[in-house]
Amino acid sequence: MGLNSTKCYRCVGEIKNMIKYEKTKSGNQRYIFKLCRRTRVENYANQDYKSCIDGNIVQLTKEGLGIRSTARLLWLYQPQYYRKGLFQLP
């Protein structure tokens, strides 16, 4: 299937509890979990939705990088970086 994470964060369901649901406007396959009825996209085009981004933001901040340089290194748009909730606007 190509999913990064094999479990639903809400119901902790396995991949066998997922079924194809529909396609997004960009043509990516969307799946739905049978138990909690939450949907998930197979491959996100936006880097902001990847699960490893939060850990990378924290790690780079501890190493002393600023907001702009961290956003540039992780290929994030700065408003998305603020939306993560890890930092507040000055």
The token pair that represents 49 in the structure block: 């939705």
Residues 51 and 69: their CA atoms lie apart, in Å, by: 20
Closest CA to 84 of 54, 50, 43: 54
Quickly state the pLDDT bin for 83 (edges 50, 70, 90): low
The token pair that represents 89 in the structure block: 């606007």
Res 10 pLDDT > 60 = yes
Residues 63 and 68: their CA atoms lie apart, in Å, by: 14
**H helix or E strand, kind and range, residue 14:** none
The identity of residue 58, as a single letter, is V
Closest CA to 49 of 15, 3, 1: 3
pTM of the model: 0.44
Per residue in 70-82, pLDDT (tens digit) is 888 887 766 655 6
The token pair that represents 60 in the structure block: 């780079």
